[in-house]
Amino acid sequence: MLQSERTTPLGARSFHVVVHDVAPPFLGEISTILGELRPLVGSRVSAGVVPRWHGRPIEGAEAAALARLVRGGFDEVLLHGWEHRQRRPSGIVSALTLMSNEFGGLPFTSAIARVVDGYERLGALFGKAPAGFIAPAWDRGPATLRMLRACGLEFYVGMTALERDGAPSVPLSTWSWDSGAVAQLGHLGHLAGNMMFAMRPRSVPCVVFHPSDVARGFVARGVRLVRSLLASGRRPVQFEDLAKPDIPLAA
């Protein structure tokens, strides 16, 4: 390792690439995204896996196909909710995201049951339990870090920070183009990422892809951002890398 790598905080020289909504209905779109990313970052991509997309369990041939795709294309698996939908609308976030904010307004006991079941299902499917949790539509509801830790998870990834046990949160600046029902809101998602990073230049960039980005034409924009981050001297890392309490971060 070079001397500069030992002394420069990891957060100041890294970035994340993550694909949300990794589930059997979107294998084609996810393969397309990975095909664009592979020449740039290899498999240094995190998979936000939904274990029961809209109530449908992963099983049979679909489970085998998803396992092959994830093992071949992703270095890290995260739990991305349970079924990624609410059973009934609960407000403006619910309306804008087509009821994707699963944990918003969810009772504490129901949230625990979903996290535990998802944690166990992903562990059985991939041979290794996920270490981190990403809330669908960034709405964590009652899923505090303390609750997630009790369920076996080690860290929480939000839009603006990674929360870890025994150490300060890691600031993130997130670019995400899937803003729900209205495709054009993806442009605002890009602007939000730019604004977050401009206001907190020492935060860690996080580039988020969704299957819907393929049809909506936002994959190319995300790829350009990844190229720009690589050109600036940053390298892709897993969320697990930053979740370690002894990792030095930018102040």
**Per-residue pLDDT tens listing for the chain (251 residues):** 333 334 445 666 899 999 999 999 999 999 999 999 999 999 999 999 999 999 999 999 999 999 999 999 999 999 999 998 877 666 666 556 665 678 888 999 999 999 999 999 999 999 999 999 999 988 999 999 999 999 999 999 999 999 998 889 999 999 999 877 667 777 888 999 999 999 999 999 999 999 999 999 999 999 999 999 999 999 999 999 999 876 655 54
Residue 178 placed within a domain = yes
CA–CA separation, 169 and 157 (whole Å):
10
Residue 43 placed within a domain = yes
Is the pTM higher than 0.85? The answer reads yes
User: What is the tally of structural domains in the chain?
Assistant: 1
Angle at the Cα of 34 (from 41 to 71), degrees rounded to 5?
90
Residue 198 placed within a domain = yes
Q: Tell me the CATH number at 191.
A: 3.20.20.370
Residue 61 placed within a domain = yes
Residue 6 placed within a domain = no
Q: Supply the range of the domain harboring residue 32.
A: 17-238
